Amino acid sequence: MIEKKVGFNGQEYFKMDAIKEITINISKDFSRYIGPREKRVAKFSGEDFRARFLEENFKQYDRIHIELDGTLGYPWDFLDETFGVMARKHGKEKFWEKINLISANHYVIDKIAYIVDHSKKENSQNP
């Protein structure tokens, strides 16, 4: 965040706050073996990853770098539960503002981008 200030001599200057960032490597910090959508079905689910790594970090950090390489693939339902739910919850603009996906495999980034870009923010006023 950049804030305009005026010094004691009347000179204007800009103060820039440090950006709080975190890097999450899914294969090292979570698992190489990615599971399904829900944790009641199997270990290493999208629901588990989102709850343990994204929800709290989304509140605490300005940028979250997610390294996707090193797993044995990503089921569509894992990606939707992890990234799609976050985009629906916070809005896709806020999602892309905070999340940076890193991978040598652009196919998985393209899948996530499709899921996020086709997500509609949840309306908290609906019953």
Residue 18: predicted pLDDT: 83
pLDDT tens, 9-45? Answer: 767 766 667 889 999 999 999 999 999 999 999 999 9
Asked if residue 125 belongs to a domain, the reply is no
Residue 3: predicted pLDDT: 64
For 42-102, give the DSSP string.
SSS-HHHHIIIIIHHHHHH-SEEEEE-TTSS---HHHHIIIIIHHHHHH-HHHHHHHEEEE
Residue 11: predicted pLDDT: 72
What's the domain count of the chain? Answer: 1
Distance CA 21, CA 86 (A): 18
Asked if residue 4 belongs to a domain, the reply is no
Question: Amino acid letter at 35?
Answer: G
Asked if residue 2 belongs to a domain, the reply is no
Asked if residue 10 belongs to a domain, the reply is no
Asked if residue 49 belongs to a domain, the reply is yes
Residue 120: predicted pLDDT: 87
Domain enclosing residue 29, as ranges = 19-117
Q: What residues in the chain have per-residue pLDDT under 70? A: 1-8, 10, 13-16, 124-127
Residue 5: predicted pLDDT: 63
Global pTM value: 0.82
